[in-house]
Amino acid sequence: MPALWLLALLHLYIGWRIAPSLPGAVAPGVFAAWLAASLLLIPAAVFGRRARQRASADRWTWAGMLALGAFSMLLVLTLVREVVLLVAWLLPWTLPPLAAPTAAAVPLLALAACVLGFAAARRTARVREVEVPIAGLPAALHGFTVVQITDVHVGPTVKRAYVQAIVDAANRLQADAVAITGDLVDGRVADLHGDVAPLAGLRSRHGTFFVTGNHEYYSGAAEWIAQLRSLGLQVLVNEHVVLRQGGAALVMAGVADYNAAQVQPGQRSDPLAALAGAPADAGLRLLLAHQPRSAPAAAAAGFDVQLSGHTHGGQFWPWNLFVPLQQPYTAGLHRHGQLWVYTSRGTGYWGPPLRLGAPSEITRLRFVSEAGC
């Protein structure tokens, strides 16, 4: 109830600041109707998921998430307008009246942002090429490629066709290995098993490796681990496998999500345990960890590279500005001591189907010897 009251107050605030200044006789009423519909649809996205029929629940979620995205844009733009009006008021010279044009700009810009953001979220993620230099990398591993998929969030608005398009794009890259770094699903196996089925078609030289994200623990991690293993994915929970290529060894390790123990105490994220027993002469030690903040423990354990997701790159402005409050890295390749950390912006999206300033990606990472970089 506190959240609903806050939502209602924010809708009233937007209406109070924008509607009276809109030009014409019709626009204020239309805008008020928009806000009223938004206030009803956003809670429906949550309560509608309890519908007995999955198709009905998904429709409510679609409507509510679209409304939430539009509301987010309206709120941000209303606050930006307040700053513009304040600055104009403080200036020592007289400006033309700004109340009406800036009020009209808020819903128009919000609609434009929603259209652009929706198109960016719903398209198949583009391939991002990343080269990672590794000191002392054996010649046999020079050019080894890993395709990273992360944060797809299969659920009410991300379905089988969306997943199939990702699989097809990944397969065209002909990688040595595929890594899925968590938050694959938002829902139970019983509802989504058909939507993730295309993952069985992922192809690479050494196979597909998966680690849990926080959303797997919200959705029944044990059931999902069993389901993904039945599709041929190798699930790594604080463990590793050794991949051999041309006489050189690569350690592919994975940890449970950073917060897994809060939901399932037996699955505390442990990079040190994931590397235990690995060959000392391994040419590359690669850790799959859903959250970038696993990096300090990964570096201490002796890994060379960590692949992460979780942040979505902020997904859309201005929420990207808040990611550093929780995570050390928002997106891209960074050095953490001797450890390389690559944080993907995600291959799907979560919540509102919007992406602005943080494009989705299927990442093709190529490991090369540092001397040849």
Give residue-wise pLDDT tens across range 218-238. 999 999 999 999 999 999 999
In this predicted structure, what is the pLDDT of residue 51? Answer: 64
In this predicted structure, what is the pLDDT of residue 172? Answer: 98
**CA 15, CA 230: separation in Å to the nearest integer?**
51
Position of tokens 């509510």? 64
DSSP, collapsed to helix, strand or coil, labels residue 232 as: coil
**CA 60, CA 65: separation in Å to the nearest integer?**
8
In this predicted structure, what is the pLDDT of residue 231? Answer: 97
Give me the mean pLDDT over the 257-272 stretch: 91
Angstrom CA distances, 110 to 65, 75, 105, 158, 288, stand at 15, 9, 8, 23, 37
**CA 199, CA 167: separation in Å to the nearest integer?**
6
For residues 363 and 128, the answer to whether their CB atoms sit within 8 Å is yes
In this predicted structure, what is the pLDDT of residue 130? Answer: 98
pLDDT bracket for residue 50 (50, 70, 90): low
Residue 82 parent element (H or E): helix 54-90
pLDDT bracket for residue 144 (50, 70, 90): very high
Give me the mean pLDDT over the 76-80 stretch: 96
Residue 320 clears pLDDT 80, i.e. is over it: yes
pLDDT bracket for residue 368 (50, 70, 90): very high
HSE-up of residue 242 (Cα within 13 Å, Cβ side)? 13
Residue 94 clears pLDDT 80, i.e. is over it: no
Among 3.60.21.10, 3.10.200.10, 2.60.40.1120, 3.40.50.720, what is the CATH number of 126-372? 3.60.21.10
Domain positions in the chain are 2-122, 126-372
pLDDT bracket for residue 57 (50, 70, 90): confident
Neighbours of 135 (CB within 10 A): 10
In this predicted structure, what is the pLDDT of residue 3? Answer: 87
Query: DSSP characters for 284-296?
Result: EEEEE-SSGGGHH
How far, rounded to the nearest angstrom, does the alpha carbon of residue 265 sit from its chain's CA centroid?
25
CA dihedral 43, 320, 180, 144 (to 10 degrees): 170
